[in-house]
């Protein structure tokens, strides 16, 4: 099982990874066949790169190179095949002995959530069974395994075993449902299945790997580690009844909180590395969101590539300064303090005529946040370090953030992490080694943009808010559904209005790692201009 981490669009780099992995599998494990993920040669998802004929020409050259460079080992690789805007297929080719022995075209093209394969591909119709070393391999690709027909077609065509190539992105709980669906195909066909998944981050998406094999009885007999690229061998042999028996090693199973934390680390690391950023810079506030972001960054790329900036104002508590410094020192990252009060005063002086007759409100709060954004972006421009914004999904949902202020940045690791989960992740990270000061976790959260300010002054408690957000954003409940479920109608109406009117902010937010099945951006696409509100009624 060739669980590799391709780079989207880097066809030459990806084919090099395939050749190196195949040679390693041959030399170290005496492997006969290496199965790679879906769209191996282009990476997944290539999106509108698929509309460029030049990409397909590179893929064709890569397939020719694979045929010439592989000796003594066969490979099954995913790639686009065909003609742009005419008949382009999501394909998998079996390459052995210097030839493409056969190719399979994906039958079921997902067109929901983060997937839009029908924009690019047409559906295949035929089964593909390859007879190699006296074993008949039936081939399917990703979504095909969630339906009965492709596996049944392969079985009817004489397959002894099903090979399933995947680029299945992570979201919470998904890894559990994969086995259930694959096991159902085993029950229906009586054939074992090898499920090979991609690993690594690609923009908002993150792929957990976790490739596995199920025996003809549905028992999991091999499991690759999650979040680790590598080669994970299985052995196939035929028993006296003619059935294919699979054996392999079982990597330890991770907990759900481990999976989420590693998803964030992996997605952040690959975004930084694949886009060639030398380092990152974080505005460290002494609060839990920036603290968790710092821990993730250090775990992703190392302390020597992370810098933190504390930017206190007149409203910043001394304990925030102390806690930020303690955490930065504990993780051994470069840390400096740049007060913003003088900048804030200059802005107020410059705007004094425009503000005559008004009282301080969120305008002054946002100016402070934008002072910090300017400082961080200036350091980014001068040093090349990417700014990590630190906002979480709960704040993004209700607009508890400042455009061009704390939202400034190149990447947002916590963009799809509700506030209540932020606390759980902080506790989990501290269970490994205590890097987040306890007071940061136990203090009531505050933006510290006004005297004695607390998040709960303007928001429902996060335990309640996150429940409402999950209902409205993840489950697509409407106002009436939420009230019928027992939530206070005034609170529900207020929260929904906050979510709806802040779509314009989210549209301008940096990308971030998707860990739920309804993330802002690729998943949840709502109009900015909309008359659909809580008060909308059909008379």
DSSP string for residues in 40-83: TTT-S--GGGGG-HHHHHHHHHHHHHHHHH--S-EEEEEEEEEE
Render pLDDT for 270-323 as a digit per residue (tens, 0 to 9). Answer: 999 999 999 999 999 999 999 999 999 999 999 999 999 999 999 888 999 999
Are 155 and 125 in contact, with CB atoms under 8 Å apart? no
Torsion over CA: 272, 277, 280, 281 (sign): negative
Strands of the sheet with 87-96, listed across from one edge: 33-35, 74-83, 87-96, 99-105
* Per-residue pLDDT band at 537 (split at 50, 70, 90): low
Mean pLDDT of 526-531: 88
The three-class DSSP label of residue 134 is coil
Mean pLDDT of 454-467: 85
Residues 6+ apart with CB under 8 A from 234: 1, 194, 213, 221, 222, 246, 247, 248
Pairing of strands 74-83, 33-35: parallel
Cα separation of the two ends of the chain? 60
Are 272 and 280 in contact, with CB atoms under 8 Å apart? yes
d(CA 130, CA 135): 8
Residue 458 pLDDT > 90, yes or no? no
Would you tell me the crossing angle of helices 256-274 and 419-432 to the nearest 10 degrees? 90
Tell me, what's the pLDDT at 122? 96
d(CA 456, CA 445): 8
Residues 6+ apart with CB under 8 A from 23: 70, 73
H or E element at residue 425:
helix 419-432
Torsion over CA: 101, 107, 219, 21 (sign): positive
Entry pTM: 0.94
Domains of the chain (ranges, CATH numbers): 2-254 (3.60.110.10), 258-454 (3.40.50.620)
The three-class DSSP label of residue 405 is coil
- Active-site residues, by number, are 38, 106, 142
Residue 179 pLDDT > 90, yes or no? no
Tell me, what's the pLDDT at 444? 78
Tell me, what's the pLDDT at 480? 92
d(CA 135, CA 159): 8
Residue 536 pLDDT > 90, yes or no? no
What is the residue whose two structure tokens read 């990703």? 142
Are 166 and 199 in contact, with CB atoms under 8 Å apart? no
As to burial, measured by CB atoms within 10 angstroms (0-12 exposed, 13-18 middle, 19+ buried), residue 158 is exposed
More confident residue, 349 or 539: 349
Of all residues in the chain, what percent carry a pLDDT higher than 70?
98
Nearest to 31, CA basis, from 86, 87, 76, 92: 76
* Per-residue pLDDT band at 86 (split at 50, 70, 90): confident
d(CA 349, CA 368): 14
Tell me, what's the pLDDT at 448? 64
HEC assignment per residue over 427-493:
HHHHHHCCCCCHHHHHCCCCCCCCCCCCHHHCCCCHHHHHHHHHHHHHCCCCHHHHHHCCCCHHHHH
How far CA 75 is from CA of 46, 66, 130, 143, 409, in Å, comes to 21, 9, 12, 21, 41
d(CA 426, CA 446): 17
How far CA 40 is from CA of 45, 72, 162, 199, 325, in Å, comes to 10, 20, 18, 11, 44
Render pLDDT for 29-85 as a digit per residue (tens, 0 to 9). Answer: 999 999 999 999 999 999 999 999 999 999 999 999 999 999 999 999 999 999 877
């Amino acid at each position: 099982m060739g669980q590799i981490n391709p780079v989207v669009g880097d066809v030459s780099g990806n084919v090099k990874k395939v050749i190196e992995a195949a040679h390693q599998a041959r030399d170290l494990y005496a492997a006969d066949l290496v199965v790679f993920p879906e769209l191996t040669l282009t990476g997944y998802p290539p999106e509108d790169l698929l509309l460029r004929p030049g990409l397909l020409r590179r893929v064709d050259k890569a397939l020719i190179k694979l045929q010439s460079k592989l000796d003594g080992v066969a490979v099954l690789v995913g790639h686009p095949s065909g003609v742009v805007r005419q008949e382009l297929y999501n394909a998998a080719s079996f390459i052995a002995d210097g030839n493409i022995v056969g190719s399979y075209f994906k039958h079921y093209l997902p067109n929901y959530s983060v997937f839009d394969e029908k924009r690019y591909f047409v559906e295949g119709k035929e089964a593909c069974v390859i007879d190699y070393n006296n074993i008949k391999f039936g081939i399917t690709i990703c979504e095909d395994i969630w339906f009965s027909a492709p596996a049944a077609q392969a079985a009817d065509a004489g397959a002894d075993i099903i090979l399933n190539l995947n680029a299945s992105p992570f979201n919470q709980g998904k890894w559990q449902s994969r086995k259930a669906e694959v096991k159902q195909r085993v029950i229906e066909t009586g054939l074992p299945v090898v499920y090979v998944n991609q690993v690594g981050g690609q923009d908002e998406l993150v792929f957990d790997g976790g490739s596995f094999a199920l025996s003809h009885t549905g028992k999991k007999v091999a499991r690759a580690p999650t979040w680790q690229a590598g080669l994970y061998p299985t052995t196939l042999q035929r028993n006296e009844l003619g059935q294919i028996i699979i054996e392999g090693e079982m990597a330890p199973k991770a907990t759900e909180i481990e999976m989420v934390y590693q998803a964030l680390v992996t997605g952040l690391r690959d975004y930084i590395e694949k886009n060639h950023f030398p380092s990152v810079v974080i505005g460290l506030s002494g609060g839990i969101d920036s603290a968790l972001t710092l821990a993730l960054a250090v775990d992703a790329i190392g302390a020597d590539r992370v810098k933190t900036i504390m930017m206190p104002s007149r409203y910043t508590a001394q304990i925030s300064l102390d806690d930020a410094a303690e955490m930065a020192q504990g993780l051994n990252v470069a840390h400096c303090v740049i007060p913003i009060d003088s900048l804030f005063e200059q802005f107020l002086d410059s705007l004094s005529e425009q503000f005559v007759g008004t009282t301080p409100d969120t305008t002054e709060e946002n100016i402070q946040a934008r002072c910090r954004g300017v400082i961080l972006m200036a350091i980014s421009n001068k040093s090349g370090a990417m700014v990590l914004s630190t906002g979480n999904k709960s704040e993004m949902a209700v607009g508890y953030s400042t455009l061009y202020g704390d939202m400034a940045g190149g990447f947002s690791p916590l963009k799809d992490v509700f506030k209540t989960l932020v606390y759980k992740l902080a506790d989990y990270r501290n269970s490994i080694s205590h890097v987040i000061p306890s007071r940061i976790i136990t203090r009531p959260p505050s933006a510290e943009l006004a005297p004695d300010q607390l998040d709960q002054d303007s928001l429902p408690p996060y335990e309640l808010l996150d429940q409402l957000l999950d209902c409205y954003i993840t489950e697509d409940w409407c106002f009436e559904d939420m009230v019928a479920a027992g939530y206070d109608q005034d609170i529900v109406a207020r929260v929904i209005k906050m979510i709806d009117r802040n779509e314009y902010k989210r549209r301008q937010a940096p990308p971030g790692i998707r860990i739920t099945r309804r993330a802002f951006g690729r998943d949840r696409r709502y109009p900015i201009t909309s008359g659909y509100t809580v008060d909308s009624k059909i008379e």
